[in-house]
């Protein structure tokens, strides 16, 4: 009898806890009933969709987002709203400044408290410091360094993409060149003075793969299993590689004569802030690793995509070349004034990252309930904003897979909602390196297109043929292969 009483008490306790849990989350359940979404099983929700595996992560997320401009999905006990209504996205990104807890959960073992994943008490001060290093005057001074690195990339294209029907994927080549550009501009060191650059890049790529792999292994989302997993051990080792590389960069930097004209360059400024105790040494290493990685990973696929798209659209490529030819002569290096006048090239880049944004999806955490025009977003809800879907809504972007740079003529931009185009995010946690990314891409593409005519994209005939994969950034599954010939 006594045993029966204990068992009954325990069952009542479990039932009470369950009811309390449901009651606390009632707004989530109510919101869930209001929106369409994929079928979900009890307890596991729509986790069965993840069985497609990491290789299908981009397609899986795109299929979920296509249910509706507002789609609900449960992965186990975790509720997400997929949102791609421009007006709603704009409101939410401007109100919700906290990134999803999953950024820190998935990236924290290697990047610790870097700006991408830093908590609010650290983020504000760090962002204020780093903003100083990406103002227009500083970024504009990088044009000569970008030009030098772009010429190196053009030399590589001359070796591997000319006179062959089977060129290699340019992804690694572009990424190595962009790391050189990052070392010269952000770190103010000569790339040839560093070793282990290839290891740093390979480790960054391995890091992204490990993050994606974890997402598709539900048991690794439970801390008990994660902390005992070989994958976490790998991520801690990856973090050590990042740290060691930045320490090497700093050591090389400190062995060079001080450049008084570059005090506001990223690493120089952070080193000075570290001396003044405005930034911890750990913070210096974390932000250094993040910035060099992000400068590569966000721009490399964009440059690769632009080259492929221009190879498929010779008439647009010719218009870009004509613009470059009018602004430069055969002996003249690019100048800031010339690059700033390349309006058509800028529209080509914007259209490229509309169709293939470097960051196809972003997550945000809603801390308090937000009322929108036709629905509400409950507190403690994770929202996933599908940038790819946002950029392809046919009501806003007619014939969305048509590559048309004139979508970004000023009069066309005026017609669209502000939240319809967000390749760099929006609000307080948008990309800090927008100016850096746009200027570097313009210089790289201008140098290449001035020297070469892209004859074809090897693996693609139409935009629809380009299938994307997602790590932390979107990358074409078949890579970026082109054939070129000299303009002269």
Cα–Cα distance, 62 to 57 (Å, whole number): 9
pLDDT of amino acid 331: 63
Residue 137, in any domain of the structure: yes
- Total structural domains in the chain? 1
- The band of 29, judged by pLDDT with boundaries at 50, 70 and 90, is confident
pLDDT higher than threshold 80 for residue 295: yes
Cα–Cα distance, 182 to 287 (Å, whole number): 13
For the segment 431-451, the average pLDDT, to the nearest whole number, is 95
Which residues lie below 8 Å from residue 123, measured CB to CB, with a gap of 6+?
115, 429
pLDDT of amino acid 441: 97
Cα–Cα distance, 168 to 174 (Å, whole number): 12
DSSP E strands: which ranges in 345-404?
A: 361-366, 370-371, 376-377, 381-386
Tokens of 36: 């369409």
Buried b (16+ CB within 10 A) or exposed e, 411-425: eeeeeeeebbbbbbb
Crossing angle for the helix pair 197-215 and 101-111, nearest 10 degrees? 140
pLDDT of amino acid 235: 94
pLDDT (tens digit per residue) in 157-177: 999 999 999 999 999 999 999
Q: Which of 126-130, 330-334, 438-442 has the lowest mean pLDDT?
A: 330-334
Residue 31, in any domain of the structure: yes
Residues of the chain above pLDDT 70, percent: 98
Residue 2, in any domain of the structure: no
pLDDT higher than threshold 60 for residue 1: no
Other beta carbons less than 10 A from residue 232's beta carbon: 18
Other beta carbons less than 10 A from residue 34's beta carbon: 11
pLDDT of amino acid 97: 58
Residue 214, in any domain of the structure: yes
Cα–Cα distance, 107 to 474 (Å, whole number): 17
pLDDT (tens digit per residue) in 81-122: 888 888 888 888 887 657 777 888 888 999 998 988 888 888
Q: Which of 180-184, 311-315, 384-388 has the lowest mean pLDDT?
A: 384-388
Tokens of 125: 């001060």
Residue 19, in any domain of the structure: no
- The band of 32, judged by pLDDT with boundaries at 50, 70 and 90, is confident
pLDDT of amino acid 25: 76
Residue 440's nearest CA partner among 309, 313, 295, 315 is 295
Q: 427 versus 469: which is more confidently predicted?
A: 469
pLDDT (tens digit per residue) in 470-488: 877 899 999 999 999 999 7
pLDDT of amino acid 309: 98
pLDDT of amino acid 96: 60
For the segment 369-398, the average pLDDT, to the nearest whole number, is 87
> Domain containing 73: what range?
27-486
pLDDT of amino acid 60: 81
Residue 161 labelled as part of a binding site: no
Q: For residue 232, give the CATH number of its domain.
A: 1.10.630.10
Residue 16, in any domain of the structure: no
pLDDT (tens digit per residue) in 131-151: 999 999 999 999 999 999 999
pLDDT higher than threshold 70 for residue 2: no
Confirm if 72 and 32 have CB atoms less than 8 A apart: yes
Residue 20, in any domain of the structure: no
Mean pLDDT of the chain: 89
Cα–Cα distance, 397 to 347 (Å, whole number): 15
pLDDT (tens digit per residue) in 312-332: 999 999 999 999 999 987 666
Residue 3, in any domain of the structure: no
Residues of the chain above pLDDT 90, percent: 53
CA dihedral 387, 392, 397, 403 (to 10 degrees): 100
Residue 461's nearest CA partner among 442, 441, 478 is 478
SS3 391: coil
């Amino acid at each position: 009898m006594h045993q029966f009483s204990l068992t009954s008490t325990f069952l009542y306790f479990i039932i009470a806890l369950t009811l309390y849990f449901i009651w606390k989350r009632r707004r989530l359940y109510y919101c869930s009933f209001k929106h369409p979404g994929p079928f979900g099983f009890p307890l596991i929700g729509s986790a069965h969709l993840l069985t497609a595996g990491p290789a299908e992560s981009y397609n899986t997320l795109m299929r979920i987002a296509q249910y509706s401009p507002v789609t609900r999905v449960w992965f186990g006990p975790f509720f997400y709203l997929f949102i791609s209504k421009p007006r709603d996205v704009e409101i939410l990104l401007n109100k919700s400044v906290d990134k999803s807890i999953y950024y820190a959960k998935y990236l924290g073992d290697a990047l610790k408290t870097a700006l991408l994943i830093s908590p609010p008490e650290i983020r504000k001060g760090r962002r204020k410091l780093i903003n100083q290093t990406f103002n227009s005057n500083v970024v504009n001074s990088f044009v000569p360094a970008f030009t030098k690195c772009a010429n190196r990339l053009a030399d590589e294209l001359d070796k591997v993409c000319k006179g062959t029907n089977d060129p290699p994927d340019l992804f690694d080549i572009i990424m190595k060149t962009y790391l050189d550009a990052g070392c010269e501009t952000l770190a103010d060191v000569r790339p040839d003075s560093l070793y282990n650059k290839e290891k740093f890049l390979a480790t960054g790529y391995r890091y992204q793969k490990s993050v994606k792999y974890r997402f598709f292994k539900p048991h690794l989302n439970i801390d008990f299993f994660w902390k005992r997993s070989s994958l976490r051990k790998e991520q801690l080792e990856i973090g050590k590689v990042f740290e060691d590389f930045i320490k090497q960069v700093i050591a090389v930097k400190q062995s060079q004569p001080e450049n008084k004209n570059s005090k506001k360059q990223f690493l120089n400024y952070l080193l000075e802030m570290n001396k003044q105790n405005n930034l911890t040494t750990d913070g210096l290493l974390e932000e250094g690793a993040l910035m060099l990685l992000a400068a590569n990973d966000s721009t490399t696929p964009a440059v690769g995509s632009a080259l492929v798209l221009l190879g498929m659209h010779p008439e647009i490529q010719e218009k870009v070349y004509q613009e470059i030819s009018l602004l430069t002569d055969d002996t003249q290096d690019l100048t800031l004034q010339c690059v700033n006048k390349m309006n058509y090239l800028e529209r080509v880049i914007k259209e490229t990252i509309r169709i293939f944004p470097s960051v196809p999806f972003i997550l945000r955490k809603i801390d308090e309930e937000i009322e929108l025009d036709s629905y509400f977003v409950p507190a403690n809800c994770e929202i996933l904003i599908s940038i790819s879907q946002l950029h392809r809504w046919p009501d806003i972007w007619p014939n969305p897979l048509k590559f048309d740079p004139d979508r970004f003529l000023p009069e066309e931009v005026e017609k669209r909602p502000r939240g319809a185009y967000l390749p760099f995010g929006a609000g307080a946690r948008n990309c800090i390196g927008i100016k850096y990314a746009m200027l570097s891409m313009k210089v790289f593409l201008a140098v290449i297109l001035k020297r070469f005519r892209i004859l074809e994209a090897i693996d693609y005939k139409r935009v629809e043929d380009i299938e994307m994969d997602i790590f932390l950034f979107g990358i074409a599954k078949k890579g970026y292969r082109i054939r070129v010939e000299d303009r002269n």
